[in-house]
Amino acid sequence: MPRRYRVVADWTATYSDPITLEAGDPVSLSGRSENWDGHTWLWASNEAGKEGWIPDSLIGIIDGAAYATKAYSAIELSCRAGDIVTGHEQTHGWVLCRVEDGTTGWVPEKNLERVAG
């Protein structure tokens, strides 16, 4: 169920051309991992060679080969303190948000506060 949030700290998207995956896509893992606010992220690349951080829960392994268990895009949403956004999904300390014009992207949960309505 969508939730409304107020942005409490500005966020600027990190990558202009982020990694995207569809369910079942093969994923190359670099071996790099990062703990971000208590959640494990893995540095990965898709078949097109785009690289980026993905949640560890996104990966399945069959016969030693990694694949995406669901669709994922690492696109982030640049936003400013005071903006109101609608959150549609939450994972690993991030919320997938949409603004009124339909633009969608991930925002760190720590940059958001829930609002009524």
How confident is the prediction for the chain on average, in pLDDT? Answer: 95
- Using one digit for the tens of pLDDT, what is the confidence trace for 6-15? 999 999 999 8
14 DSSP 8-state letter = S
Sequence ranges of the chain with CATH classification 2.30.30.40: 3-14+75-114
How many alpha carbons fall within 13 Å on the CB side of residue 27? 31
Q: Which of 59, 60, 13, 26 is nearest to 40 (CA)?
A: 59
Rounded to 5, what percent of the chain is helix, strand, coil? 5, 55, 40
Q: Residues, the chain, total?
A: 117
Concatenated DSSP letters for 25-81? -B-EEEEEEEEETTEEEEEEE-TT--EEEEEGGGEEEETTEEEESS-EE--B--B-T
More confident call, 75 vs 37: 75
CATH class entry, domain 3-14+75-114:
mainly beta
- Using one digit for the tens of pLDDT, what is the confidence trace for 71-108? 999 999 999 999 999 999 999 999 999 999 999 999 99
Stretch 52-78: mean pLDDT: 96
Specify the pLDDT at position 117: 67
Amino acid making up residue 114? R
**Beta-bridge mates of residue 91:** 94
Plot region of 47 (φ>0 → left; ψ -120 to 50 → alpha; else → beta)? alpha
